[in-house]
């Protein structure tokens, strides 16, 4: 069974707002079957350069679930907070 993954590359600008954003995201994932796989901080770039200090990986049942989650009113309402809190690049992958 294949899955889809949302990968977020993150540079936090406002830690308090980032904490608030992070605390509100899980409720938006549940209706779409999204689950946190990994969240971490970069310790080294072993090849090339990465301008982002943090990463998050969220697994979804399929690409449609990622798209529905991202376009959902619940998640869309968090985007202004996210933009105040951090510079984020969100990418969708399928295995």
Q: What is the pLDDT along the chain (95 residues), one digit of tens a residue?
A: 799 999 999 999 999 999 999 999 999 999 999 999 999 999 999 999 989 999 999 999 999 999 999 999 999 999 999 999 999 999 999 99
* pTM reported for the whole predicted model: 0.92
Contact in structure between 14 and 41 (CB atoms under 8 Å): no
Domain boundaries, given as residue ranges, for the chain: 4-94
Q: Which two tokens stand for residue 15?
A: 């830690």
- CA 31/CA 23 separation, integer angstroms: 16
In CATH terms, the fold of domain 4-94 is Alpha-Beta Plaits (3.30.70)
- DSSP label at residue 31: G
- CA 32/CA 13 separation, integer angstroms: 28
């Amino acid at each position: 069974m294949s899955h889809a993954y949302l990968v977020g590359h993150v540079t936090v600008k406002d830690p308090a707002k980032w904490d608030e954003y992070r605390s509100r995201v899980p409720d938006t994932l549940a209706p779409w079957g999204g689950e946190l796989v990994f969240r971490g901080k970069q310790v080294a770039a072993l090849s090339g350069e990465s301008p982002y200090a943090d990463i998050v990986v969220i697994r979804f049942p399929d690409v449609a679930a990622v798209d529905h989650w991202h376009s959902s009113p619940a998640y869309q309402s968090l985007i202004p907070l996210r933009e105040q809190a951090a510079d984020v690049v969100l990418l969708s992958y399928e295995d």
